[in-house]
A and B are shown apart, each in its own frame.
Chain A
Amino acid sequence: MEGETITVIGVGNEFRGDDAAGLLVVRQLKEKPLPGVKFLEQSGEATALMDAMDQTGPVILVDAVQSNAKAGTIHRYDASEQSMPAQFLRCSTHNFSVHDAIEMARALDKLPLRLMVFGVEGSQFEPGAEVSSPVQGAIVKAVRQINKELQTLTGESSDA
């Protein structure tokens, strides 16, 4: 029996500038498939996202963020350990945001045992906008960081 599958979820809207960050990170990660790792793309629709997160294995979620930090900053939260900051991950056009989906899953005891959230700080989210250059750089960095995380996790799960 192999170790638990690791799920990497990229969230975003590819037609709204930096909001595409999560999707682009996942697409780059997919280019080098790792055994025991699956990749999902999500729009941020909360119920679908809660379903996607409902996994027995670890989950890594990547999304664009607007938290007044410098564009291109990469935030990392261990959401299984701590609640997400209130204004984090609220740049979705949905009322019921990615933040709310995570906290709602926590309230309903549906959060995966390990949930790491990577937030890429964006600056332009207008419809039709390009991905900004700080975010393009951050995407490359985030791919590297998540790859490292995946290697650690796959190592851990194969040892288990």
Chain B
Amino acid sequence: MLGTIDLSLVDWSRAQFALTAIYHWFFVPLTLGLSFLIAIMETIYVRTGNEEWKRITKFWMKLFGINFAIGIATGIILEFEFGTNWSNYSWMVGDIFGAPLAIEGIFAFFLESTFIAVMFFGWNKVSKKFHLTSTWLVAFGSNLSALWILVANAWMQYPVGMHFNPGTARSEMLNFWDVLFSPFAVNKFLHTVTSAYVVAALFVLGISAWYLYKKRELLLAKRSIIVAAVFGLISALFLAMTGDGSAYLVAQKQPMKLAAMEGLYHGKKGADLVVFGVLKNDAHKDSLDNFTFNLGIPKLLSALGYKNSNAFVPGIKDLVDGNPKENIMSAGAKIEKGRVALAALASFKEFKKLKNQTKADSALGVFNANSTYMGYGYFDTPESIIPNVPLTFYSFRIMILLGGFFIFLFMLVLYFAMKNKLESKKLLLFITMLSFPLGYLASETGWIVAEVGRQPWAIQDLLPTAVATTHIGTSSVITTFVIFAVLFTALLIAEIKIMISQIKSGPEGGDHV
């Protein structure tokens, strides 16, 4: 069925969405994490009355303001794309996404927009406590607005609390709380925002390390490093914890993604977690040896994914060909059921049009019995359910290794900062400066694992990405892709240039926001 779809259109639509999402995510982590770091610094100022903390707070607030201003509304473009490039998908999820996105709009507008003005303009005009409250509300507001969009994303990975209405082709919400508190939503929110906190902590550490390296703004740098290292360390440890929760959920609900993350072609009991590995170029489910080299920790994948070190972890071959011994249905069988569901949906539509209620009800019964597999009905071959394994596998390794490195870095920096010896550790300062872009790399690769790993699905098991796409001209998608690439690159260059000039000027130099 998918064989007749223009795949270059689908690929360009995906590339366009990926480009805008990746660029959008350059701005978001700093907003989410810096807002809390600033609130913590201002709290210290209000509690101690020490003017140096006010100076420190105002400096980071200025950089926060630059990022906030340049990044503002970049996410709206994703919503434009939903309506133009992903209209089938948008229609199908409209009822589910409507509520979270509306709440996001209200929170973002009222909390962020109102209190951010007090935060920037209110120094010496409102009381210290009111100003501090505003700063905390900006932090909570921006994080709350992130909650709703992440709830929507989590629903696509694990669609719960809804019912597909075959009459309207829309997923209708049955229980808002099931959507909001689905384990995927809770985990995705916590894992994503803590990754943002780590990026923001690395940003503060990197700039402060540069000041120490240059022997400038020593007090600001030292104090900022302590706050950022503690905040970063706590966040990074929590991130690892939620990562563990994420592995468990993926194993239960998206086993193909887990298999791709691990390059696991053949399932086994007591599966190893690959720490390092190089996949062969011709890695395939029917090949028994798919690694050029790999180093794993015995049984850890089974332990993380199933809380049992001897549990069976299905591989790509098990999920495609099926494994009756482990009670795993083949993709081929799911495709058959999916085709029955789609044929019944088409019949239901026809009989409704002909006003033949008896036959429509009968078709509806068949559809309901097979609707769990509806999305599979679009695939021509069982292998179509395999995502891009190398991209998912290597992205996962990069994310995990960098996550471990950040924990080590935060500990090391904190140790030397507490001993007041950080200034003399030139190599460590240099590594700390370089770690900020690595924070972004880890965060973006995390998104690649989450989104590429769940392909070919736009909505897990219900709607393949190719069917979610609007049938518009490929050339128009290419045009907007280029426009976005130019626009976002210009914005990013502007942000970096303004930031660098403000950082070089320091807290006293530079301009007021």
- B is bound to A: no
